[in-house]
Structure 1
Amino acid sequence: MPVHMTIDELKSAARTLRKFLAESGAAQLTHAQSLEAVAHTAGFRDWNSCSAALLAPRPLAAVPILRVYDEVATRNFYCDYLGFEVDFEHRFAADLPLYMRVTRGGVHLDLSQHHGDGTPGAAVWLPTVDIAAFHRELRRRDHLVTLRPGIDRSAPGGPTVELLDPFQNALRFCELDD
């Protein structure tokens, strides 16, 4: 199971778990026991396996840059509709184009208003764990434009939900075939 947290973040989660259980009177855990519980939750057999996996060298990860034009439409689509969170925003000055990174489930997308960053009409393939749950989530959300995406079960690679953002970039959320 891929974990998109650092060791420090998992240790913090273990401290939070320990404190919560103690304050609620449910259990008194040692720090080592809370680390083991967090490791199991992350899909590892124990804390040593978890920390070894997180410290192992990782392959380079590409972050696509998608061209966007309208900040309000960008936030509405990527954050409000798709559920991405803003990692950072940058402008060289208040009246200059926006560059921001959004993240969801360990997937990063850079969205840029800068001329030359990305090409309108790009396609990005996004691996997704449970496409049916993702599809239900989208169907529950309101959006300025009523989008009613379906699941293409004949797409190469696995079941896919494809959406066009307001700038004609194609986002292909795909659950891998086993």
Structure 2
Amino acid sequence: MKADQIIPVLRIFDYQKALEFYRDWLGFEVIWEHHFAENTPVYMEIKKENIIFHLSEHHGDGTPGSRIFIWGEGIVGYYKKLTEKPYKYNNPALEKAFYDAVCFQVYDPFGNVIIFNEKYDEIEHKDLEFYSIH
């Protein structure tokens, strides 16, 4: 079997809060939205480059508190861009993970967590300041 695309479905509870977090802060674009009728829950697709999520207000679609782990490139630049934007509900910290990665986590308003990871490079990342709980 070969998967062409994997699209996580994340449970949301508030359309406006979802837009504020995913579109306005993280920089995703809304590709499409679906409602079965007027004044019914939304099911929508959002995208940022090759990352695609489905967000659903429907009961039973996804579990609040899900975690999504993303490997990529340019994570440090993206982190810096995010931390320069005013978003009062998140203050991510750059970390060096035990699995040899530079990473940071963001928490959406519904308890879901997205972990952005980039392979640690001793030359490229040598001057970074990392958050440490020790």
TM-score normalized by the length of structure 1: 0.63
Q: Distance in 1 between matches of 2:16 and 2:98?
A: 32
Residue 151 of structure 1 is aligned with which of 77, 82, 94?
A: 94
Aligned to 1:167: 110
What's the Cα RMSD here? 1.6
Aligned length: 120
Query: What letter corresponds to residue 132 of structure 1 in structure 2?
Result: V
C-alpha distance after superposition, 1:29-76 (max 9, x if no partner): xxxxxxxxxxxxxxxxxxxxxxxxxxxxx7421100000000110000
Task: Select the structure that is richer in strand.
Answer: 2
How far apart in 2 are the matches of 1:166 and 1:72? 11
Indicate the structure (1 or 2) with the bigger Cα radius of gyration. Answer: 1
Residues 136, 166 of structure 1: alpha-carbon distance in 2 compared, 3 angstrom cutoff: same
CA contact (8 A) 1:157 1:174 kept: no
| C-alpha separation in 2, matches of 1:112 and 1:176 | 31
**1:64–1:109 contact (8 Å) kept in structure 2:** yes
Pair 1:137 & 2:81 matched: yes
1:18-167 to structure 2, matched below 5 A, reads: 59-143=3-87, 145-156=88-99, 158-167=101-110
Deviates more, 1:100-109 or 1:126-135: 126-135
Structure 2: which 5+ residue stretches go unaligned? 122-134
Partner SS state of residue 109, structure 1: strand
8 Å Cα contact 2:90-2:107 kept in structure 1:
no
TM-score by length of 2: 0.83
Q: Which has the higher contact order (CA 8 A, sep 6+)?
A: 2
Residues 1:103 and 1:155: Cα distance change in structure 2 (over 3 Å): farther
| Structure 1 position 140, deviation (Å) | 1.5
8 Å contact kept, 1:158–1:176: yes
- Structure 1: distance between partners of 2:54 and 2:112: 12
